[in-house]
Amino acid sequence: MENDVLPFSHRTLILKIRNLYSGQMSILNGKRTLITGGAGFIGSHLVDILMKNNCNVRVLDNLSSGRIENIERWKGKENFKFIYGDVLNAEIVEKTVKDCEVIFHLAANPEVRLSSTNPEIHFNQNVMATYTLLEAIRKTGSVEILVFTSSSTVYGDAEEMPTPEEASTKPISVYGACKLACEALIHSYAKTYGFKAAILRLANIIGSRSRHGVIHDFIMKLKRNPRKLEILGDGTQSKSYLHVEDCINAILLCTEKISGVEVYNVGSEDRINVMSIAKIVVEEMGLKNVEFEISGGVDGGRGWIGDVKYMHLDISKLKALGWRPKLNSEEAVRRAARELIREIL
């Protein structure tokens, strides 16, 4: 009744706050949940939402790219447990998975560029880590749902854009190939051992706590030299960018709606090129007269060997579940730039 006397905009805001995630969290109510890589960029944001909704959360992270300060606020809470360990350690993983019912598998090395210089890292931290986790799921038998963050890089240089989930998967990097191998392993284990699985092919996810990617790289370069900015590639590379809050919404909705094994693209409805991102970062840092130094790149203007130059995912399958991004690529880039500037500078 008290809401009836409030202005419409205030009533709407209150209802949104009360209902935020409520429909997407029901499947997790009372479930024991594990997040591998939960101290990392996306993982820690997922931890925040689950903890704010009183879920029972375990985090397994070796802190190689994650940071304990990302989840520090939850230490000591009765419904939260942090396990320091590597997903490659079968003994630790099996103990951690025991009695868990829902697993969000986010642990991985996020640097695609390592594909051309140290492919073993991606093989171990993606394929072998996922196999180790799946074996623990098989042996313990308690897991009902597995959610895996895959990557748009599994498509390689897509022939169709926006690219649907049914498109050919022809990765051009070891990172993309390893993500695709993980997808195949998950699909086979889920079908064989009777659990549900959501495979999420993510576009470029950006926002606070990120410590890799083009926005972070630009800020760090301009911090060192505010007069010149090196841009890898020819500057025309154009991809979809999604803010981490929109990504978390998608992850939770897919978890709620999952039936069997499903693959979903998760991205924005447009894309933005690298030169535009550079200009946004310069503007948000309040810099003037910055010289852009374009490297020219490799293989037709790519930033590095294995870099997918153009990426735009078809997200109609995910939108059919009731999700859509609140921010487009440019809005997401501007917000992420502001968040990271506050964190870094």
Q: What is the CATH number of domain 2-207+242-270+312-327?
A: 3.40.50.720
Q: Is the pLDDT score of 88 beyond 50? A: yes
Average pLDDT over residues 149-172: 97
CA 238 to chain centre: 19
The pLDDT-based confidence of 30 (bands split at 50, 70, 90) is confident
pTM, 2 dp: 0.92
Q: Is the pLDDT score of 19 beyond 70? A: no
Average pLDDT over residues 28-33: 90
Structure confidence at residue 114 (pLDDT): 67
What are the distances in angstroms from CA 92 to CA 61, 127, 193, 286?
A: 11, 17, 21, 47
Structure confidence at residue 70 (pLDDT): 98
Structure confidence at residue 13 (pLDDT): 41
Structure confidence at residue 258 (pLDDT): 93
Percent of the chain clearing pLDDT 70 (strictly above): 92
The DSSP secondary-structure symbol of 168 reads -
Average pLDDT over residues 76-103: 97
Mean pLDDT for the chain? 92
Structure confidence at residue 24 (pLDDT): 61
Q: Is the pLDDT score of 107 beyond 80? A: yes
Average pLDDT over residues 69-94: 97
Strands, E assignment, 181-290 = 196-202, 204-206, 228-231, 238-239, 241-243, 261-266, 272-273
Range from 178-182, 194-198, 234-238, 303-307 carrying the lowest mean pLDDT: 303-307
Question: Which of the two residues, 64 and 24, has the higher pLDDT score?
Answer: 64
